[in-house]
Amino acid sequence: MSWSTSTSTATLRLGTRASQLAHTQSQTVADAITAASGVPVELVHISTEGDRSAAPIAQLGGTGVFVAALRQALLEGTVDVAVHSYKDLPTQPEPGLTVAAVPRRADPRDALVARDGLTLGELPPGAKVGTGAPRRVAQLRALGLGLEVVPIRGNVDTRMGRVAPGDLDAVVLARAGLSRLGRLAAVTETLDPLQVLPAPAQGALAVECRTDDARTRELLAALDDAASRACVLAERTTLATLEAGCSAPVAAYAELAEGEDGAELFLRASVTALDGSDGVRGSLTGPPEDAERLGRALAAELLDRGAAELMAASR
């Protein structure tokens, strides 16, 4: 495909939330687009319902509150590209829009930021640990460490600021966000997925544009990382098959490794009761091209073992 010089170099308008993390992620994608194509990119700030409200995410109707305004701006033609934290996207596709690129994923694990350099196991019983995610709440309680899990919201610095000398002993955050903001020095422990399994698509970005915008789709294709896309597809298919959203304590984590017959995708997922009293966990392995099938199969296994009842109780 070819365009006139004026069309091929026309500035792309990239919609972003105004938070520091969203802006940083968007600027990284903007710089990558320009580096790959020479096309200049302008950031356009879009206010979302999730940014304007301090209510818990589950009360606002799920993670879609962070993406609806960005998607509307795309559909109206106000912007050409939107960058999302992939875990914020609803699992149902949005008519007229496509995820044209999944850049190489950052470390998807959770991280602990605790007072006095403590790890999770070193926190004393009764220690207050802040997190806004039901998935983290459930898994932290399931560890049986006697921690008091406190629901919190706010940007990364606001959450970290509540750790001593604030009112909390620790907070749990996505390691990827801390890395992108240059805050890794504050991490006192990166949590092993055997303890706390990450959210589906955590650490990944979704770069979205209009389906009929061939020029932008082609520009964004250069940013796509096939391995990251396969892992995210497996995790989000698990979530979609469970018919769960952000208010359900569902975790999923896929990794690619070299097997005897080539690349293999190792997918783990769990559903945990919100009070930590019960849970189901499973895993499957297969070729990366079967990512969607693996996600469906693992979700079906979890449902057979009582995942639906655990999610219903959490609601």
pLDDT at res. 55? 46
pTM (predicted TM-score)? 0.90
pLDDT at res. 57? 45
pLDDT at res. 58? 47
Q: Which residues belong to CATH 3.40.190.10 in the chain?
A: 5-103+204-224, 110-190
Task: Note whether 63 and 48 are within 8 A (CB).
Answer: no
pLDDT of 184-197, one tens digit each?
A: 999 999 999 999 99
Task: Note whether 104 and 249 are within 8 A (CB).
Answer: no
Third-level CATH fold of 5-103+204-224: D-Maltodextrin-Binding Protein; domain 2 (3.40.190)
Phi, psi of 116 (to 5 degrees): 60, 20
Q: Which residues belong to CATH 3.30.160.40 in the chain?
A: 231-314
Architecture of domain 110-190: 3-Layer(aba) Sandwich (3.40)
pLDDT at res. 291? 98
Q: By C-alpha distance, which of 195, 221, 191 is closest to 209?
A: 221
Third-level CATH fold of 231-314: Double Stranded RNA Binding Domain (3.30.160)
- Active-site residue, 110 included: no
pLDDT at res. 52? 47
Q: Which of 31, 51, 80, 88 is catalytic?
A: 88
pLDDT at res. 253? 98
Residue 27 Cα to chain centre, angstroms: 18
Tell which phi-psi region holds residue 52, choosing left (phi > 0), alpha (psi between -120 and 50) or beta: alpha
CA distance 302 to 144: 22
pLDDT at res. 193? 96
For the chain, list residues with pLDDT below 70: 1-8, 48-65, 246
pLDDT of 231-247, one tens digit each?
A: 999 999 999 999 887 67
